[in-house]
Every structure is written in structure tokens, then in C-alpha cells.
Amino acid sequence: MSDASPFLMTQLRRDHRRIGRVLQLLDAQIDALDSAGVDGIVLRDIVEYLAGYPEAVHHRLEDELFDRLVNSGLKPSEWALVSRNMSEHSEIYVRTQKLAEDIDLILRDVVLPVERLREDLLAYSDLQHGHMNREEQQLFPMALRLLTDETWRELETQARDMSDPMFDGTVERFNDLFELVLAATPE
Ligand SMILES: [Fe+2]
Ligand SMILES: [Fe+2]
């Protein structure tokens, strides 16, 4: 692999910074549980965003990348790490759907036990943060070390459209959430 970071890696890291900014809003909602309470509309927008591009594009491309990695002669400990992150993509999908159902109840004025909601939101936030941190610190460096230029090129042909519906301003329904993101984490 040459020194310059492949385009796909730059984009995946960009996605992580963006997902991280959205997770900061989620963490602020968790903090608000003890004071003003959660804002159901903000939570709905956060979860709708996280259920979209990050799962449909970002995780899908990482799955392709990790697929190549598991066939690159990994040590058993490395293989276990990659395989754990791949199954976390499924876990994140399931938990995001479950969270969306809970938020639906909140928006219909069903009172959820606050401690259960806190535990669910904290577990979800921890899962997302831990998952991205492992990718940044261990899996991405492993991919840069082991994948060939040719493999990166093949992966990049599958990654032509990585435009994000909120950060690239393509989908209007995320405008309100984007304003909150910009106010909380100005670039
Ligand atoms: Fe991932
Ligand atoms: Fe990721």
C-alpha cells in the first residue's frame, strides 16, 4: 500500500466524524433526562439519520472492506476483531430499529420508565462509540497495512456515491437536525 490514504478510507473517516457529531446530540439528550427530559422529535431525527446513510452506505462499504480483510491471511486475534465488528453492524441495525419503536411511543405520549430509557440510550451510544473507536484504532490501520492497491481500487468502484443526506445537504427533512449539529459542534 502506498503512503497516501485511499479515497475510501478518507471517506469512511469523514463519516465517523459526522456520526460522532450526531452521537453528541444523542448524548446531550441522555443528559437532559434528569432535567428538561428528552425531546422526542430530536431523538426521532437522530435515529432516522443513524438508520439511513450510516447503515445503508457506510456499514455496507465497511462490510465489503472487512470481507476482503478476513481473506487477507489474518492472525486468529485479528480475525476475531474483524468478525466482531461485522456482527456489530447487525447488532446496531437491530438496536436502531428498537430505539425507533421506543421513540414512536414517546411521540405518542406513552410514558416509558425513565431508567429503562436511560439504559437503552446509554447502551446504544456506547455501542456506536465503541464500534467506531475500534475501527479507527485497530481495523482501519489493519486494512491499510494488509489490503493491496488493487483491492482498494475494487472497493472504490463500489463507493462512487457516498453523499450524506444531511451533511451534504441533499435531504430537506434533516435540515432541523443539521442546525442542531452545527450549533453543538461547529466545524
Ligand atoms: Fe462499522
Ligand atoms: Fe464505521
> What is the residue-wise DSSP string for 149-161?
HHHHHHHHHTTS-
Q: Is residue 65 predicted with pLDDT exceeding 90?
A: yes
CA distance 65 to 93: 18
Residues 6+ apart with CB under 8 A from 170: 163, 164
Within 6-72, residue ranges assigned H as helices are: 7-32, 40-51, 53, 60-70
Closest ligand by atom to 11 CA: 2
pLDDT at 3 exceeding the cut of 70? no
For residue 169, give the C-alpha cell. 445537504
What is the tens place of the pLDDT at every residue in 131-176?
Answer: 999 999 999 999 999 999 999 999 999 887 889 999 998 889 999 9
**Burial track 120-139 (b if 16+ CB lie within 10 A, e otherwise):** bbeebbeebeebbebbeeeb
User: Where does the pLDDT of residue 4 fall: very low under 50, low under 70, confident under 90, or very high at 90 and above?
Assistant: low
Centre of ligand 1 from the C-alpha of residue 125, in Å? 14
Nearest ligand, CA 63: 1
Which residues are close to ligand 1, an ion, with C-beta < 5 A? 62
Which residue has 500500500 as its cell numbers? 1
Distance in Å, CA 8 to ligand 1 centroid: 14
Distance 182 CA to ligand 1 centre (A): 24
Rounded to the nearest whole angstrom, what is the distance from the C-alpha of residue 112 to the centroid of ligand 2?
31
Distance 14 CA to ligand 2 centre (A): 10
Give the pLDDT band (50/70/90) at residue 39: very high
The amino acid sitting at 28 is A
What structural domains does the chain harbor?
Answer: 7-184 (1.20.120.520)
Confidence of residue 35 (pLDDT cuts 50, 70, 90): confident
* Dist CA 23 CA 13 (whole Å): 15
The pLDDT score that the predictor gives to residue 162 is 87
Q: Tell me the CA–centroid distance for residue 60 and ligand 1, in Å.
A: 9
Ligand found nearest the CA of 12: 2
Stretch 74-95: mean pLDDT:
96
First to last CA, the chain: 31
Q: Which ligand is nearest to the CA of 15?
A: 2
Q: How many CA atoms lie within 13 A of 39 on its CB side?
A: 12
Q: How far apart, in whole angstroms, are the C-alpha atoms of residue 26 and residue 183? A: 14
Length of the chain: 187
CA of 61 to the centre of ligand 2 (A): 9
Q: How far is ligand 2, taken at its centre, from the CA of residue 12, in Å?
A: 6
